[in-house]
Amino acid sequence: MQPITITLDGREVSGYLGMTILELACESGIEIPTLCHDNNLPSTGACRVCLVENEQNGALLASCVTPIASGMIINTHSPRVIERRKTIVKLMLASHPDSCLVCDKGNRCQLRQIASDLGIGLVELQRIPQMASIQEVNPFLERDLSKCILCAKCIRACQELVVEGAIDYFRRGFTTIPATLDNVPLENSECTFCGTCVALCPTGALAEKEKTYRGTTQTVVQTTCPFCGCGCSIRLEAKDGCVVRVTPGRESSVNKGTLCVRGSYGCDFIHSPDRLLKPLIKVNGNFEESSWEKALQLVATQFQRIRDEHGSDSLAVLGSSKCTNEENYLLQRFARAVLGTNNIDNGGRLYTSASRVGLGSSLSFSGTTNYLSDLEQTELILVIGADPDSSAPAVSYAIKRAVKQRGVKLLLIDPRQTKLTLFARLWLRPKVGTDVALINGLAKVIIDEGLLDEEFVARRTDNFGAFGESLKKYTLKYVEEITGVSGQEIRTVAQLYARASRAAIVYGTGITQHITGTDGVKGLANLALLTGNIGRKGGGVYALQRENNGQGACDMGTLPKFLPGYRSVTDAEARKKFEERWGASLPAEAGLTALEIMEQTKKGKIKGMYIVGENPVSSFPNSRLIAEILASLDFLVVQDMFLTETAKVANVVLPAASFAEKDGTFTNFEGRVNKVRKAIEPIAESLPDWEIIMRLADRMNYPLPFSSLQDVMSEIEELVPSYEAYTDSERQDELAYGVRGRTYGSQLLKGFARFSPVEYTPQAEKRKSDYPFTLLTGTILYHFGTGNRSSRAWRLRKFFPQSFLEICESDARKLAIADGEKVKIISPVGEVTTIVKISDTLREGMLFMPISFSETPVNALFDIVLEPETKAPSLKACSVKMEKIPPS
């Protein structure tokens, strides 16, 4: 492309076609003030502060919307420009209150900064105050529209980045304000309190609701959000050892300056009064505070004793998909080299093991195949069994942007109505647990109607014959009977998906947490292979990941069958490499998975356990039984930030530091390795998990040979494929795209992908009449995981204090239950009590409950039923009955 040269402030600079004056100035190091411009938003030229002068014709141009043209002579700071700029800012200030002293935006206010740069003090113009303050009761943000300058950043962020559309301009002229529908308070509107607009607002019009005045931020650290698997970049602002504010990272290609309510307002848990401050040792049934010295010595002695008395495999370790890669690496090394067992697993087993195994066997690549930014370049998106609006908001934003801004077709398959249904071209509502039949039905239509990508299938895949054979019985009629979805709709979806030149599949726990999870994933991989959507930009399969580091924990080998980098523990050669490096002999037999560990504990085979950052009593099925099993251990050590339900039954509890208090990396669902950076010192005596593991190894006479975290990273870079040079943040994007073995340009990892025939097996509907309802569980936007962190984030807790049970109106009427009444939900293994919320998102016979409330442990309703291939428990749907609790 021919460069375009212009003269900018007397200097010749070159840019490319379509570049604006502002962009070129920014690139050339010339600062032009702006109020309505943001790199993540398309420019509108609303505020006019960025105006510059064209010397040739004297025109004053808004530089953010004026493209460069060859030969332009532009002055950005001529006396005329400065004078006009001053006038514009003065006009804004004339209707802006002089309340800077008490305004929370303080020195972060861009309007104030620009005014002071221009030397504007008190304004001599006649004041036209706008009296528009809005009373809001939400605990997150406050709108003081008397400070609004109508730059529309909030409106554009809401409509174009987050695609929620809660606000737009309202009325005209002097009375214009950004407003919700009917101008109601935000909590009564579509607003999801993602905080994106607050971070963009250049004045104090949008601000966080503060409990107390927090003062000026001293340090800002760019790190990674600790909640879901999206891996959004966040900035932690700290003052006096306290995190005072969280704002979205501006440069990340994952979140593009957005966040969700959890990221923006959920990190309060860092300073929760519930944080563990010292190690605890249980003495006669009560916890007593102890020194690190004493606690670690006790743990080391007990682990050594159990190992000596009962053998290494009587010990088990649970690592965490919430901890960093480095911590998981150290932990598995500790388990294998120090304790001498492969009985190590991580909490990701519950959520994503079906993806790892399913995609692994079909594509030889165990995760999301493409990048999130690709999703906006596709032609069609098929979302199945996922509610990304709650579970992975950044993905949902990308999908909605694709639909709204690029006209991408969205096909949705979900029994429950979600926010995405409003954006979907077509929405299929199969019966719960019939996905495999539906997916096979789609595949059969694609093959029967000749819509498959024959060249791709012939050249890049094998096992097509057997696959085609296996689909024989999945006729439209048969699938319609099973799923309850009309044959015509199935055909249309199959045709739309197959005819799109690029089509992506997005799935979540609605697939993976079912008892047929792995089959569902394989079925989806089959669809992508049939249509040649693997190894294609804009195609691919997106496996949503529940937790921030589910991918990383597995990559690091916190798995019973695999050493770091998925090298089998039974592979002598791989083992040798690690043995040499670690100077210890490693166990050669595959260990137990998380739920098998529980099973063997129950049988008395496992005597001691070390749980790091997991809360199985809440997150595993059949909570009561799991608590009993853990209590029966000889010795249980739990390492966590809080005294979780699991920690309560431990013998020793070790206080861990939060993500804000340590360095490291998280790997997000795309496989991108994101930096975690320390913003504050660990609270009280808590320590980062990696340091605790190192100290414990010391006590067990196997000091891990690392003097710093950097040494751990170096070892990972050396030993774990696809993590080579991952700490080099300069190369982060390139590494994420190149080295991590992405299937781009039809480059499959092992040359061929494999069709895996899957069969639909009806679930035994035992005692259907006793337990007439199908209960679905899932995440809600305002809480996360088992709620350990989100329920301790006071703003989330205040806004969304308690669990609920969603039921459709006709079922509620039949049972004579009204909104807000109390009910007891009973399954064959447990019961919970909660309040009813009548909802139009469900069909008759279906119920929905969120998972994140420890007072209402919905997992207590699930029996332990393991998926045969991954040994992951079924945690998505179960049969229940319901009883109304009369008000007392």
Partner 1 sequence: MGKKETVKEVDLTRINAIVSEYSEQKWALIPLLQKIQNEFGYIPPQSIPIIARNLQLFPSQVQGVISFYTQLYTQPRGRKVVRVCRGTACHVRGGKTILKLVKQHLGIEEGETTPDLEYTLETVACIGVCALAPNIVVGDHVHGHMNPKKVEQLFKNRRSRG
Query: Which spans of this chain sit near partner 1 (rule: CB under 8 A)?
Result: 159, 164-172, 179-183, 190, 404, 422
Closer CB to partner 1, residue 111 or residue 141? 141
Whichever of 182 and 580 has its CB closer to partner 1, that residue is 182
Distance CA 321, CA 545 (A): 10
Closest CB to partner 1 among 17 and 181? 181
Closest CA to 238 of 229, 230, 246: 246
Which is nearer to partner 1, 425 or 581 (by Cβ)?
A: 425
C-beta neighbour count of 169 within 10 angstroms: 12
Return the structure tokens found at 275.
């944080």
CA angle 602, 761, 451 (to 5 degrees): 135
Closest CB to partner 1 among 42 and 721? 42
The 10 Å Cβ neighbour count of residue 300 is 18
Q: Which two tokens stand for residue 562?
A: 């695999």
In the complex, least distance from residue 188 CB atom to partner 1, rounded to whole angstroms = 13
Contacts of 177 (CB under 8 A, 6+ apart): 130, 132, 145, 148, 169, 170, 171, 183
Closer Cβ to partner 1, 80 or 171, answer by number = 171
**Closest CB to partner 1 among 179 and 753?**
179
* Residue closer to partner 1, measured from CB, 175 or 212: 175
Q: Considering the complex, state which of residue 180 and residue 834 has its C-beta at the smaller distance from partner 1.
A: 180
CB of 399 to partner 1, least distance (A): 15
For the CB of residue 379, give the shortest distance to partner 1 in the complex, in Å.
17
Cβ atoms within 10 Å, residue 70: 11
Beta strands in 797-867 (DSSP E): 805-807, 822-826, 831-838, 846-850
C-beta of 159 vs 619, nearer to partner 1? 159
Q: Which position has the token pair 């595959």?
A: 590
Q: How many CB atoms lie within 10 A of CB 548?
A: 31
752: CB partners within 8 A, 6+ apart: 460, 461, 462
As measured in angstroms, the least distance from the Cβ of 408 to partner 1 is 13
Which of 404, 438, 441 has its CA nearest to residue 420? 404
Q: Give the list of residues 6+ apart from residue 723 with CB closer than 8 angstroms, or none.
A: 325, 555, 565, 673, 716, 717
- Grouping H, G, I as helix, E, B as strand and the rest as coil, residue 376 is coil
Under 8 Å CB-to-CB from 655, ≥6 apart: which residues?
275, 276, 277, 278, 279, 280, 640, 641, 684, 685, 686, 687
Q: Minimum distance between the CB of residue 171 and partner 1, rounded to whole angstroms?
A: 5
Of 189 and 377, which CB lies nearer to partner 1 in the complex structure? Answer: 189
Give the Cα separation of 365 and 386 in Å (integer).
Answer: 21
The Cα–Cα gap between 94 and 123 comes to 6
3-state secondary structure 394-405: HHHHHHHHHHHH
Q: Give the closest residue to 205 by CA, choosing from 179, 170, 181.
A: 179
For residue 733, the tally of other CB atoms under 10 A from its CB is 13
Give min distance, CB of 163 to partner 1, in A.
Answer: 9
Least separation in angstroms between CB 194 and partner 1? 15
Nearest C-alpha neighbor of 554 from the set 567, 543, 544: 567
The residue among 162 and 398 lying less far from partner 1, judged by its C-beta, is: 162
Tell me how far, at minimum, the Cβ of 172 lies from partner 1, in Å.
5
Measure Cα distances from 634 to 233, 243, 614, 630, 840 in Å.
42, 39, 19, 9, 49
Nearer to partner 1, 425 or 884 (CB): 425
Shortest approach of partner 1 to residue 824 CB, angstroms?
36
Minimum Å distance from CB 411 to partner 1?
16
CB of 428 to partner 1, least distance (A): 19
10 Å CB burial of residue 239 (0-12, 13-18, 19+) is middle
Q: Are 780 and 852 in contact (CB under 8 A)?
A: yes
Least distance from C-beta 169 to partner 1, angstroms? 5
Q: Are 802 and 414 in contact (CB under 8 A)?
A: no
What is the smallest separation between the CB atom of 316 and partner 1, expressed in angstroms? Answer: 51
Nearer to partner 1, 411 or 846 (CB): 411
Closest distance of CB 167 from partner 1, Å: 6
Q: In which element (H, E) is residue 207 found? A: strand 206-208
Closer to partner 1 by Cβ: residue 167 or 556 = 167
Q: How far is the CB of 419 from partner 1 (least distance, A)?
A: 13
Identify residue 574 by its one-letter amino acid code.
Answer: A
Minimum CB distance to partner 1 smaller for 166 or for 394:
166
Inter-axis angle of helices 709-719 and 572-582, to 10 degrees?
150
| Least distance from partner 1 to the Cβ atom of residue 698, Å | 58
Least Å from the CB of residue 185 to partner 1: 14
Nearer to partner 1, 19 or 134 (CB): 134
How far apart are CB 400 and partner 1 at their closest, in Å?
Answer: 11
Cβ atoms of residues 591 and 598 within 8 Å: no
In Å, how far are 227, 415, 433 from 244, measured between CA atoms?
Answer: 18, 41, 44
**Helix-strand-coil split of the chain, %, nearest 5:** 35, 20, 45
Give the residue with the Cβ less far from partner 1, 180 or 549.
180
CA nearest neighbour of 275 among 870, 780, 788: 788
Between CA 65 and CA 68 the distance in angstroms is 10
